[in-house]
Amino acid sequence: MFQIPDHQVAGHKASKGIIGPLIDNSGRFYKPLQSNNRGSKEESFYKKFSSNTEIPNHIRKFFPTYYGTQHIEASDGSGQHPHLVLEDIVSVRTNPSLMDIKMGSRTWYPTASQAYIVKCFKKDSESTSPNLGFRISGFRVYGNEDSGYWKPERNNVAGFDTNDVRIALRKFVSSNSNDLDGESDCAFVQNVYGGPNGVLAQLLMLKKWFEDQTLFHFYSCSVLMVYEKIKPNEDRSCVTIKLIDFAHVVDGQGVIDHNFLGGLCSLIKFVSEILDN
Amino acid sequence: MFQIPDHQVAGHKASKGIIGPLIDNSGRFYKPLQSNNRGSKEESFYKKFSSNTEIPNHIRKFFPTYYGTQHIEASDGSGQHPHLVLEDIVSVRTNPSLMDIKMGSRTWYPTASQAYIVKCFKKDSESTSPNLGFRISGFRVYGNEDSGYWKPERNNVAGFDTNDVRIALRKFVSSNSNDLDGESDCAFVQNVYGGPNGVLAQLLMLKKWFEDQTLFHFYSCSVLMVYEKIKPNEDRSCVTIKLIDFAHVVDGQGVIDHNFLGGLCSLIKFVSEILDN
C-alpha cells in the first residue's frame, strides 16, 4: 500500500536503513516525525495552523492539507513510527518538474541553542542564503518522454552561487534543460512564471500576507514550485506553490517574519527579471 | 565658524579628545572621515550615489546631499582632517524630535572579515536586530518650552526589547514623553506617522525602491526620522526621513538588499499598528 515517492529533490529520502517519507495511492504523503523534537514541533505547527481561523483561504492553499498523525510501518523497517499525514503535492501529477527553495537569509531562530546556531551559520554561509535571502535545495526538470528528467547532483546544488541560481531558475522553465552547454531557451517562462496564476502572481500573493502576518516565523522552511509541461503556447497554467518543512517554525510574537519576507522579495526579483528578459 | 551639533542621538559625538561631526551656520554638516577605510568607503558611496543617474529624484531626497570632501580643523584639536560635507538635516530646525533606527537583521556584509562578523554578530544578538530586522540606536523628543527635550540613556536604548521598541515609537509621537509612568498619548501620531507625507507614506515609497534596486546593499545604515512638533490638529506635516551612515555599503551585484528591506517591512508594520490603534 505504501511506497517511496520518486520525486523528492531535497531532504532525507527513504532507503534501506534510512527512514523517509512514504506515499499511498490515494494522494496522501506520510512524513515520519523527525527526532530531536523536530517532528513534534512540525506536528504542533500543522495543528495550530489547521485550526487557526485567522488564515485566509487564499493563503491556506499555499500549505499542504494536514490529515492528522498516524502510526504506520516506517520505511526503514524499524517498525511502527508516527507520521504526519499530508496532502501529496507531487506524486499525484504525471511528469512534475519541481524545485525546492529554502527561504530566509538565516535558517536558525534567535532562541536556538548556540551549537545549532553555529552549525546553521556555517551551512548558511557556504550557500547563497546570506547573499540572496534564499538557496535552492534541489530541483528536477522534466524534458520529454525520451529524455525523462534532468536533475543536478545534490552536491552541485549545494555549491550554487548567485549566477548558478539565475541559471537554475531559467533551466527550470526551459525545454532544453538537458543541454548542459547551450543557453536555456526559457520556452515555458510565460506559462510557469507569468500569467494570473503563475509563480510570480502566487509569490506576490504570499508576499502580501507576509508583510502583515505576525503569527509564525518560518525558519528553514521551503517554497516548493511544481508544474507540468504543456505546450508552450497553450494558455493554461498548472503551477503549484507550497510551503513545506515546518520543524523550525516559531511563534511570531506580534512581529513579521522579515527573514522569510526579505528572501521572498529577493526571489520575486529573480523571477521578475527572467520574465522581463 | 564650526560648532558641535547639539542634536545627535547616536554615533560618536565630538568632545575633548574625540573627533566628531561639526556644523557651520549655513546648513552644512561636516562628518570626519572614519578610520579603518570606513571613511573612504563612505566617501566612495556618496560619490557613486551622487553621480548615479539611475536614482529617481523621489528616492534621492531620502539621502543627504553631498557637497564633496573638505579638509577642516578636526573637533578634537588634532589638526586638519578630511570631512564629508553634507546637508545638515537636523540642526537647521528649531526643536527637532529625532530617532535613529539602524536597519537590517544583521549589520555585517557577507565578505567582511571573520573578526568583524563575530563582533557584529554578538552586538546584533544583544539587540532587537535579529528579531525585528532593526534596532533603535537613539532618540530624543521635544516636549515644550518648559520641559525641553526628553532623551533616554544610551545604555538603556541598547537594551531595548520588542516591547520597549513599541513604547519608544509611541513616545516619539506623544506630547507627554517626559511622563515616564503614564501611557503615551500619541497626540502627534496622525501628523507624524500618518498623512500623505508622513513617516508611513515615506517608508512605503522607500520600500518600493528597495524591492527593485540592486545597486547597493546598505549594511549598518540608519533611517533617521525628524519632525517638529506643531499643534496636533494643524494639518501640516513636516517629517523628514533620511538614510544616513554609509561606511558599510557594498555593491548590490544585481541582487536586492533583502536585509534592509526585511527590516523596513518590519518597521512599517510597527508604525502601521500604532497608526491603527
Average model confidence (pLDDT) across chain B: 92
Q: Tell whether A106 is within 8 A of chain B (Cβ).
A: yes
Lowest mean per-residue pLDDT among A39-48, A112-121, A163-172, B228-237: B228-237
- Chain A: nearest CA to B129, how far in angstroms? 10
Of B110, B265, B268, the CB nearest to A130: B110
Q: Specify the pLDDT at position A233.
A: 57
Query: For residue A237, what pLDDT band results from cuts at 50, 70 and 90?
Result: low
Interchain CB distance below 8 Å, B263 and A268? no
Interface check for A222 against chain B (CB to CB < 8 A): the answer is no
Sign of CA dihedral A129, A134, A137, A138: negative
Does residue A225 have a pLDDT over 90?
Answer: yes
pLDDT of residue A86: 96
**Which 235-274 residues of chain A touch chain B by CB within 8 A?**
253-256, 258-259, 261-263, 265-266, 268-269
Query: According to the model, what pLDDT value does residue B248 have?
Result: 95
Closest chain A residue to the Cα of B134, Cα to Cα: A258
- Residues A204-214 have a mean pLDDT of 98
Closest CA in chain A for residue B261:
A262
Question: What confidence tier does A79 reach under pLDDT thresholds 50, 70, 90?
Answer: very high
Task: Enter the C-alpha cell of residue B127.
Answer: 539587540
The predicted complex's ipTM stands at 0.93
For residue B256, the chain A residues in CB contact (below 8 A) are: 265-266, 269
pLDDT score at A35: 86
Q: Which of B270, B70, B37 is nearest to B171 (CA)?
A: B270
3-state secondary structure of B94: coil
Quick one: pLDDT band at residue A71, thresholds 50, 70, 90? very high
Helices (H), chain A: 38-51, 57-60, 114-125, 129-132, 154-158, 162-171, 189-192, 199-210, 258-276
| DSSP 8-class letter at A186 | -
pLDDT at residue B244 in the model: 97
Answer whether residue A30 shows pLDDT above 70: yes
The Cα of B162 is separated from the nearest Cα of chain A by a number of Å equal to 9
Write down the pLDDT at residue B64.
97
Cell numbers at residue A235, please?
494558455
Domains and CATH numbers, chain B: 22-87 (no CATH), 96-276 (3.30.470.160)
A125 touches chain B (CB under 8 A): yes
Q: Does A12 have pLDDT greater than 90?
A: no
Which residues does chain B have with pLDDT short of 50? none
Confidence of residue A201 (pLDDT cuts 50, 70, 90): very high
DSSP-assigned letters across all residues of A43-89 = HHHHHHHHH-TTS-HHHHTTS--EEEEEEEE-TTSS-EEEEEEEE-S
Q: If pLDDT is split at 50, 70 and 90, which confidence band does A40 have?
A: very high
pLDDT tens-digit readout, B13-27: 777 778 899 999 899
Mean pLDDT over all residues of chain A?
Answer: 92
Q: How far is B272 from chain A (nearest CA, A)?
A: 10
B62: left (phi over 0), alpha (psi -120 to 50) or beta: alpha
pLDDT, position B176: 87
Q: Is residue B162 within 8 angstroms of chain A, CB to CB? A: yes
Whether B254 and A162 lie within 8 Å, measured CB to CB: yes
From the list A130, A256, A268, the residue facing B269 with the nearest CB is A256
pLDDT at res. B233: 57
Residue position matching grid coordinates 544610551: B154
Range with the poorest average pLDDT among A89-103, A126-140, B2-16, B259-273:
B2-16
